[in-house]
Structure 1
Amino acid sequence: MNKIQELPWDNPRFRTWIAVARAEKAIVRALSKSLEPLGLKIAQLDMLMNLYRHPGQSQHDLARRLLVGRSNITMLLPQLETQGLVRRENDANDRRVLRLYLTQNGEQRLMEALAVYTKLIDRVMAQSTPAQCEAMGEQMRRISEALAEE
């Protein structure tokens, strides 16, 4: 940048963007720490939540839903199976496809993790009124959509 250009930190949009990025990092750090006693990482929690909401999906479907590569799912799945949280079953119509399901232990661990997650969300979002929360959510959705188009 040359001295003639406006410095970015004088721009309110820049300052807000930095505040959002720092808040996201703080939330990830707090959630990661809160999930440690349950033996879960955030990516694993995402998988468990999605399998609870959409049981029987394939690894491909789960990767697409989580916006990650299938290799990410392939790496995390054995960890969840070893913990007894997820099971794979053959698809009745296509032997090449494996369907993913939560086990009873998986569902129980998910409920424990959701209690932790909800407590963190409530603590963080208590800084805002319900109307402010809605406005913030709408703005974050617009940002996600704008970046998804690229």
Structure 2
Amino acid sequence: MNNTHNKMDYIIQFCACANLRKAARSVTQAYERKMESTGLKVTQYYMLVNIARHDKISISNLGDVMLLDQSTVTRNVNVLKNRGYVNIAKDISDSRTKSVSITEIGLAKLEEATPIWLQIQGKIEKDIGQEKYQDLLETLKKLQEFVEPYDR
């Protein structure tokens, strides 16, 4: 029993997945509380940023960029479309592919939300410290690279 208890304590304390999920959830909630006035969830904001950056992007490529499954991307793109923030059109070169582009209303929403995003982002970077924050980003990138072989 003691050995099993020790293993469980170890798992709870050091599980990379659980600790990353808790941290991600906490950070997501902080961003969403601050961005509540915009009506955007942080995933929707990040999606709008990616759509604006790529001009026209397919739903599957958007999922690849954001590491989201197609159903999550489709659901969020439809919410953004219903609000008038994006257009969805069949790709000219491949009618099976849908391309997403940002509208003027979507660009205005980004203009509204970005200062709020910058405020919370700046606070996080300041509170952690620029050097530690850069180390965190580097560690997260390396972690993604290391775990990719486990996904297969």
The TM tier, using the shorter chain, reads 0.7 to 0.9
Counterpart in 1 of 2:130?
A: 130
Task: Report the 3-state secondary structure (helix = DSSP H, G, I; strand = E; otherwise coil) of the residue aligned with 2:127.
Answer: coil
Higher fraction of helix = 2
1:83 shift after superposition: 0.8
The number of aligned residues is 148
Map 1:82-93 onto structure 2 (within 5 A): 82-93=82-93
Structure 1's consecutive aligned runs of 4 or more residues displaced over 6 angstroms after TM superposition are 15-19
What amino acid is aligned across from residue 84 of structure 1 in structure 2?
A: G
1:144 shift after superposition: 2.1
Counterpart in 1 of 2:32?
A: 32
Counterpart in 2 of 1:102?
A: 102
Aligned counterparts of 2:36 and 2:141: Cα–Cα separation in 1:
29
Q: Which runs of 5+ in 1 are unaligned?
A: none
Q: Which runs of 5+ in 2 are unaligned?
A: none
**CA distance 1:127–1:15, shift in 2 (3 Å):** farther
**CA distance 1:47–1:10, shift in 2 (3 Å):** closer
Q: Which moved more, 1:139-148 or 1:49-58?
A: 139-148
TM-score (norm. length: structure 1): 0.82
TM-score (norm. length: structure 2): 0.81
RMSD: 2.6
Aligned counterparts of 2:17 and 2:131: Cα–Cα separation in 1:
21
Q: After superposition, give the CA deviation of every residue in 1:95-146 in whole Å (9 maximum; x if it has no partner).
A: 2322210001101212322221111111112123322222222112122222
